Amino acid sequence: MKPAALMKLWGNTCAYCGVQVWLRTPKFGKALASADHYWPRCSGGLTSKHNMVLTCAQCNISKGGRDPRDWLPEEIRQRVENKLLELSKDA
């Protein structure tokens, strides 16, 4: 799943830190759009829009393959999980 497919669903912002992201940017860094498996593939997370979140490159790298419960603050997890739930209802 490419970041382009997620841009509209997530309002062009990183699901984790809220920065505005772009598909093309001259500098690799915080502003570059990236697609993250919310539940990591290594723990069974699927590549579907019910598990893919739009993030900036920096958050994606810093999260890596970690479980969101080990990495994200509670209130952000709730927001992201509510959004994923909402997206799964639209399907």
59 binds Zn ion (CB under 5 A): yes
53 binds Zn ion (CB under 5 A): no
Sign of the torsion formed by the C-alpha atoms of 42, 2, 85 and 91: negative
Q: Point out which span in 44-52, 55-63, 64-72, 73-81 binds Zn ion (CB under 5 A).
A: 55-63
Whose Cβ is closer to Zn ion: residue 56's or residue 72's?
A: 56
C-alpha closest to that of 17 among 27, 29, 1: 29
CA torsion 4-1-38-83 (nearest 10°) is 50
Q: How far is the CB of 65 from Zn ion (least distance, A)?
A: 17
- Alpha-carbon distance 31 to 19, whole Å? 7
16 binds Zn ion (CB under 5 A): yes
14 binds Zn ion (CB under 5 A): yes
17 binds Zn ion (CB under 5 A): yes
Chain residues binding Zn ion by CB under 5 A are 14, 16-17, 56, 59
